[in-house]
Amino acid sequence: MTKAMATACLAFLFPLCAGAAEPDAARFELQRSGDHFVRLDKQTGAMSICQDKDGNLVCRMAADERAAYDAELDRLSDRVTALEKSVAANEGKSTLPTDAEVDRSIGIMERMMRSFMGMVKEFQNEEQTDKPLPQKTRAIYE
């Protein structure tokens, strides 16, 4: 009777405790299923199976989610290994651009700036060459 009562108290207190540890108290949902609980993480969809062990609620991932977790962990581990090998292979090599690359980039930027400044001068010339409106026409627009 006391174990069942403790389990029932845990079922009600767990969401409150999770809310204290988590900024979003509504993130987890706890449902009783036989002699254990199923905890659903509403944010990620992950499910955990929880049991009362010596007054503590102990949760572990469901088997199918564990397989997906292990697969993702293996994928990330392989990626880290590949990145580490890439870094090790590039050590000692300069990552700075060559002089030819710098000259080419400066040439592109110079052409772009000359083109831009040419357009600015054209707009300035158009503005200066525009004749003012005649007195009668100016009065209509003012």
- 3-class SS string, 42-95: CCCCCEEEEEEECCEEEEEECHHHHHHHHHHHHHHHHHHHHHHHHHHHHCCCCC
Mean pLDDT, residues 110-123 taken together: 93
**pTM of the full structure:** 0.32
pLDDT of 142 over the 60 cut: no
Q: 């993702």: which residue's tokens? A: 72
Tens-digit pLDDT profile for residues 15-70: 545 444 544 668 888 888 888 888 888 887 778 888 888 888 888 877 777 788 88
